Amino acid sequence: MQLFIAICIFIIVALAFQIIALVFRIRANPEVKRVRKMLRALSAEAYRNEIVSIVKKRSLSTIPWLDRRLLSMQAHVPLMQRIDLFLQQADVVPPLSVFVLLSVVMGVTGYLSSLKLIRNNILALIIGLLLATVPFFLISLKRKSRMRKFERQFPDALEMIARALRAGHAFLGGMRMVAEEFDDPIGGEFKTTVDQINFGVSFQNALKSLAKRIDCPDLKFFTISIIIQKKSGGNLAEILENISMLIRDRFKLRSHIRALSAEGKLSAIILVALPFMIALALSLTSPEYIKVLVTEPVGKKLIAISIFMMFIGIMVMKKIISIKV
């Protein structure tokens, strides 16, 4: 057992040094990082020593053998494709391999540490799995924040494109103005789309790629409207202004619903926190009284039933106060 733990610790330390080396290598030179990001987005330069393919490929690691392994897994495992898209939507700088190695290191470290402290394989495995999901949980928070910022910028961008069209500019020129005038994420995403069109990607495919990179229903409406307008014709400036007005009206309705449901959310928080606060107060004032719930079998069953009923109540209250707009 000690030999197994020593081998695991050696692997963890080696992976940790590898992650640190990758992070420092990426952050060592900002100009190199910018150029590499542009090359990954617009070309297949990373594959110049392999068989040339007209399909653009995304580099998942700076380590060649790990990159090939991850690409092979991505082609056969749909979960890897979703994780890679997740990272693109969050706009994280390190590649997928860094987060995979970090997740493995945290999971194994959490499992071994928990196993040594509590000596329970099942509980230690659960703790290790929870720690392994921490990097992707942090990425999900960044992705959610980025998508919200894109939604806030999107109506202003549509109005700018509409004004550019009324002034006599082409639609691509309006998108270029948005790319130059707006900050990330909408400025960078529109710049990528404009560059793809300039490099020969069809207008329809470039817009579909934009809708795939950004998880925003309004952007999908925008993409479908532009594709239909290109085929059937119509006043594009008026279409964009109507979409922008619709998005702003929905933002107002969402804010109104959030204000009306604030009381229900506060009630749910208080009802969930109340049992734990009472248990804490009783443990401080009357520890022998609350100790029965932990030591007696009936008390343990009551705790399990209470947690289950609390979970059901949380789900019901969440269903009541969650209104999709």
Give the 3-state secondary structure of the chain.
CHHHHHHHHHHHHHHHHHHHHHHHHHHCCHHHHHHHHHHHHHCCHHHCCCCCCCCCCCCCCCCHHHHHHHHHHHHHCHHHHHHHHHHHHHCCCCCHHHHHHHHHHHHHHHHHHHHHHHCCHHHHHHHHHHHHCHHHHHHHHHHHHHHHHHHHHHHHHHHHHHHHHHCCCCHHHHHHHHHHHCCCCHHHHHHHHHHHHHCCCCHHHHHHHHHHHCCCHHHHHHHHHHHHHHHHCCCHHHHHHHHHHHHHHHHHHHHHHHHHCHHHHHHHHHHHHHHHHHHHHHHHHCHHHHCHHHHCHHHHHHHHHHHHHHHHHHHHHHHHHCCCC
% of the chain exceeding 90 in pLDDT:
5
pLDDT in tens, 243-298: 889 888 888 888 888 887 787 788 888 888 888 888 888 888 888 887 877 788 88
pLDDT band at 213 (very low <50, low <70, confident <90, very high): confident
Average of per-residue pLDDT across 129-146: 88
Residue 137 inside a domain? The answer is no
Residue 153 inside a domain? The answer is yes
CA geometry: angle at 93 spanning 91 and 99, to 5°? 95
Query: End of a domain among 74, 101, 132?
Result: 132
Which of 72-76, 125-129, 130-134, 305-309 comes out lowest in average pLDDT? 72-76
Task: Say if residue 35 is in the same domain as residue 127.
Answer: yes
Task: Say if residue 127 is in the same domain as residue 157.
Answer: no
> Is 54 a residue whose pLDDT tops 50?
no
Task: Say if residue 305 is in the same domain as residue 195.
Answer: no
Task: Say if residue 250 is in the same domain as residue 273.
Answer: no
Task: Say if residue 249 is in the same domain as residue 286.
Answer: no
Task: Say if residue 213 is in the same domain as residue 163.
Answer: yes
Residue written as token pair 């924040």: 145
Query: End of a domain among 217, 235, 255?
Result: 255
Task: Say if residue 274 is in the same domain as residue 242.
Answer: no
Nearest to 129 by CA among 113, 106, 100: 106
Per the CB < 8 A criterion, the answer to whether 26 and 93 are in contact is yes
pLDDT attached to residue 97: 74
Task: Say if residue 225 is in the same domain as residue 268.
Answer: no
Give me the domain span that covers residue 23.
Answer: 2-132
Task: Say if residue 205 is in the same domain as residue 240.
Answer: yes
Task: Say if residue 13 is in the same domain as residue 128.
Answer: yes
Residue 280 inside a domain? The answer is yes
Average of per-residue pLDDT across 83-97: 77
pLDDT attached to residue 160: 92
Name the DSSP letter for residue 103: H
Residue 298 inside a domain? The answer is yes
pLDDT attached to residue 22: 67
Residue 139 inside a domain? The answer is no
Residue 149 inside a domain? The answer is yes
Task: Say if residue 83 is in the same domain as residue 150.
Answer: no
Residue 24 inside a domain? The answer is yes
Looking at the structure of the chain, the number of domains it has is: 3
**Mean per-residue pLDDT over the chain, rounded:** 79
Which of 201-215, 268-282, 311-325 comes out lowest in average pLDDT? 311-325
Residue 138 inside a domain? The answer is no
Task: Say if residue 175 is in the same domain as residue 267.
Answer: no
210: domain CATH number? Answer: 1.20.81.30
Average of per-residue pLDDT across 96-102: 79
Higher pLDDT, 87 or 49: 87
Query: End of a domain among 95, 110, 132?
Result: 132
Angle at which helices 96-118 and 78-90 cross, to 10°: 110
